[in-house]
Amino acid sequence: MDLLIVAPKGKMGRLITQVASEKEDIRIVGGLGPAGRDYIGKDIGAVAGIGKEVGAPVFDDIEKCIDLCDVIIDFSMVDVSMEVLRAARAHRKALVCGTTGFSDEQAAEFQAAAADIPVMKAGNTSKIVNLLYKLVEMTARTIGDETDIEILDLHDRNKLDSPSGTAKEIGEVIGEAMGKDVFADAEYGRQGRCPRKDGNIAFHSIRGGDIPTTHTVFFIGTGERLELTHRADNWKCFAVGAVDAARFLLTKEPGSYSMADCLGF
């Protein structure tokens, strides 16, 4: 597999470059960075700081490198990701996108692109997080109607969107399990006098320091509660999952895929 990595100097891009460079069946053909940066043209291994060169440069124009690859992995910014999506669709390249914070209209563009390319828009590429989704689904089907459901996400101070993409995906899982649109009357934090509404869910977000990425789903009953929690001590689990997802898409027909499809859940 020939792989193009977007934002190789970013936190996820560095880890994806490291993980991919260790795979014998993957060849990194380039990286994509913003125009004007001093590392454009340098080896992606040096840019990502993985301690070795891999023989592929960082480009500043996707049109100069997209035809070198089979699959693209993109963990960048919303505006960049939309440009990458459109180029991937035009050049018929598979795309794994882990960027979060898209609007409904932008998310719909990913769905439309699936008519032409294999695409995976995943808020979280961790295998264990996707197992958490299955546990949340089972719990919501079983006791969702008789409990109050709250979702809490913790991220470091540099996290841009809130709730997190993973928290939103948890909400989607709950909605599908319970057969309703949980976002229609969802609450986002609370302030002042605000008695809890029956049947809705609430999202809460904490941002600060370098706190490990953590997601907890509360199913709160009378006299008891169930808490389902995932904690990521570092981000390598997400990078491993992203590379596995790219390998999965390599042989797939055009369509919209999920990490659950990749993992066989």
Active-site residue list? 155, 159
Beta pairing class for 2-6 and 148-155: unpaired
Residue type present at position 175: G
d(CA 47, CA 59): 11
**Tokens describing residue 96:** 């794994």
Contact 175, 181 (CB under 8 A): yes
DSSP letter at 43 equals: B
Round the CA-based radius of gyration of the chain to a whole number and report it.
19
Task: Give me 102's structure tokens.
Answer: 């898209």
Place of tokens 């840019």: 47
User: Which H helix or E strand runs over 140?
Assistant: helix 127-143
Rounded distance between C-alpha atoms, residue 241 and residue 115, angstroms: 24
CB count in 10 Å sphere of residue 78: 14
Question: Tokens 């977007």 sit at which residue?
Answer: 6
33: tokens are 């960075």
Whose CA is closest to 31, among 69, 1, 82? 69
Contact 261, 248 (CB under 8 A): yes
